[in-house]
Amino acid sequence: MKKIIIIIFLTLLFSTLRAIDKNAGTKGYLFLKLPVSPQIAGMGTTGEMLHYTPLTLLHHPASFNPIRGNSIAFSNTMWLVDTNMYNIAWRNVKFNHAYGLGFTYFDYGKFDKRLENGTLIGEYYPMDMRFVGNYTRQITPSLNIGGNINFLYQKIDTSSSTAISTDIGASYHLPFQNAIDIAFKNIGTSSKMDNEKTKMPIVIDFGITSFSGVVVKIKEDKTFIMPITYKLIYMEDHDHLINQIGCQIPIYDTLFLRTGYKFNYNEENFSAGFGLYYKTMSIDYAFINNKIDDIHLIGIGWEF
């Protein structure tokens, strides 16, 4: 655990040397980089190996739920300036593998349609959509691999484009209740929108999870294990690496308190959230501090 903390600290220290992003705004389908799970968003967009909601497959293709059966979850990401992202995911877990499906709809709201002289002639509704198929397999008790196939659609007024991409990832459980994971996301190609192809926002995630984390002592006879998660992210449209760290406190397996922080991220930093669990039902909420406008996520889940 001490070695993992040292690695995280050194990475955070050296990655604070940053410059202005030269490639900012050069990619399309940027909604693919937004959080869809309030559980993960509340922990600084980390913790894919901790959570069993099927929404995690939209974050990391190798996340694996060891509890067999079906689960379904819905979330609403209330993004900036009244924009909304709606997500739904289903997963079926067998003995050593799982199938999953996901769907995302990003609603940008209503825009005025005007002529060059400013005359109002109508309205239009930009949108993004994603259809996801996932397969995850447990190769050994320690090693999981997984992949997503994504079908994408983007529309702005009368212009539109389609795309197909893939996400691939793996996770490996280390001794002493630690794990590492990696994912390569948004690798694909798109059709042209008008006369120009939309470039995919390629992302590489590397994560470390300490399930044993830190022991939190509330009273002499009451202690809780607080898992700690860390993620190092490369984004093709950023000139610097992004560091994210998060933690979660489970209280009697019914209430989960979460918080996280993003380093070297242009718009966001602090996040927090909670989850309420009763039998097979769950309700989760997350808040993300953004320089432009606060972001809220809410989700519900059901295992059956």
Nearest residue to 168 via CA among 41, 294, 23, 57: 57
Whether residue 80 has pLDDT greater than 50: yes
Whether 269 contacts 237, CB under 8 Å? no
For the residues 226-243, what does the mean pLDDT come to? 88
pTM of the model: 0.84
pLDDT given for residue 15 in this prediction:
43
β-sheet bridge partners, residue 282: 277, 301
Fold for the domain defined by 2-248+255-303: Porin (2.40.160)
pLDDT given for residue 288 in this prediction:
93
Sequence ranges of the domains in the chain: 2-248+255-303
Q: How far apart, in whole angstroms, are the C-alpha atoms of residue 229 and residue 205? A: 13
β-sheet bridge partners, residue 69: 93
Which stretch of DSSP H or E encloses residue 94? none
- Which amino acid does the sequence have at 133? G
- Give the single-character DSSP code of 170: E
For the residues 272-277, what does the mean pLDDT come to? 95
Which stretch of DSSP H or E encloses residue 40? helix 38-42
Nearest residue to 210 via CA among 10, 46, 22: 46
- Characterise 220 by phi-psi region: left (phi > 0), alpha (psi -120 to 50), beta (else): alpha
Backbone angles phi, psi at 21, to 5 degrees: -70, 115
For the residues 263-286, what does the mean pLDDT come to? 90
pLDDT in tens, 277-301: 998 899 999 999 988 788 999 999 9
Which stretch of DSSP H or E encloses residue 251? strand 242-251
Whether 62 contacts 98, CB under 8 Å? no
- Which amino acid does the sequence have at 28? G
The tokens describing 169, both together, are 């990832």
Q: How far apart, in whole angstroms, are the C-alpha atoms of residue 192 and residue 199? A: 10
Whether 187 contacts 199, CB under 8 Å? no
Whether residue 22 has pLDDT greater than 60: no
Q: What pLDDT band is residue 7 in, cutting at 50, 70 and 90?
A: very low
> Do the strands 143-156 and 159-174 form a parallel or antiparallel pair, or are they unpaired?
antiparallel
Nearest residue to 59 via CA among 227, 248, 234, 186: 186
What DSSP line would sit under 117-166, residue for residue? T--EEEEE--EEEEEEEEEEEESSSSEEEEEEEEEEEEEETTEEEEEEEE
CA angle 224, 228, 234 (to 5 degrees): 165
